[in-house]
Amino acid sequence: MPLVNHTNLPTFARLREEGQVVLDPERALHQDIRELHIGLLNMMPDAALEATERQFFRLVGESNPIAQFYMHPFTLAELPRGAVAREHIAQYYEPFGRLREEGLDGLIITGANVTHPDFAQEAFWGPLVEVFDWAVENVTSTLCSCLATHAVMQFRYGQRRQRLPAKRWGVFPHRVMDPRHPLVYDVNTLFDVPHSRFNEITREQVEAEGAHVLAESAVAGVHLAVSEDRFRIVFLQGHPEYDTVSLLKEYKREVLRFAHGHRRDYPPVPENYLGLQEQAVLQEFAERILESRDRGRPIPEFPESLVSQRLDNTWHDTGEGVVGNWIGKVYQLTHSDRKIPFMEGVDPSDPLGLRFA
């Protein structure tokens, strides 16, 4: 599914450099392929804003070539932003009001940083609820990532996320729980997913609301689930969109926070992510950091290049497969006029045209 470079968003150029198929608008108009319009509500903080664009655009664009994709990034004005991010958003992002008027076929909602234990205290809470309520009635399917999953579980179902004893951080194996479901059809029945979170929604909470678990880890818990109608809302707790180096960059950030006195404890390395040699390199660096701090010396340079060269990505293909399946069902169910709710003429108890035991 080729992406269509319908704006000057720099993410399109970056993806084209990586080898992604990105069509110019004029070329797209001359192809007899149906278009799909996918919204990306990007709530990530400034440092991750553009990387998150690329990650989700990449997953969508690498799906099967049955449609042309017009990606529509937008955000919420209530999220705190610095000057550079505000300029990027003003130049390349779209207002939600216009998207609501023109319609979307699918919607992806990212995670966000929070500052309060209760989501309802966040400044973005009300606007997020407004976007989601509109999407449930007017968008074929909404895919919620990490914190977005936790927020939706709270305001739609009254299920509050639960605090974990320690941060769930690393790459964990997951097993497909229902291989008949179209979202996990023909993907690996055992696959890895990165996680990075302090909280979780449990299987018991998911099933209490009639939702359906599709992929789960014995260690990391539920990764992929769908709403009671089996498709309108897709819940992710892991991060299949992550780049190979995403966890390493997050670890680097936490190490530097410790080095500058903004974190009290030295961060553990993400689980199941690094080889023995890479762990040894980072352990040696930790010792140098502690020695430098004790002796008042400058902070040594983080050995990112030494570690990043030997990292393995064991999750992207399956993540691409799941998103491709999601896009395929959006394509099948949505009307060409995006203002018509997809449930019109569809059995609400079985929107995928299947019967589940």
- Active site (catalytic) residues: 146, 239, 241
Pairing state between β 233-236 and 221-226: antiparallel
Is residue 270 within 8 Å of 171, Cβ to Cβ?
yes
Supply φ then ψ for residue 40, to 5 degrees: -125, 100
The pair of structure tokens assigned to 136 is: 């449930």
- E strand or H helix at 40, and its extent? strand 35-41
| 295-to-284, 291, 298, 299, 334 alpha-carbon distances in Å | 17, 6, 9, 11, 63
- Closest by Cα among 122, 13, 6 to 72: 6
Is residue 125 within 8 Å of 119, Cβ to Cβ?
yes
User: In which region does residue 36 sit, left (phi positive, over 0), alpha (psi from -120 to 50) or beta (all else)?
Assistant: beta
d(CA 287, CA 69) in angstroms, rounded, equals: 48
Supply φ then ψ for residue 172, to 5 degrees: -130, 145
Considering Cα of 299, then 305, then 311, then 316, what sign does the dihedral take?
Answer: positive
Return the residue matching tokens 């690094």: 274
d(CA 172, CA 182) in angstroms, rounded, equals: 23
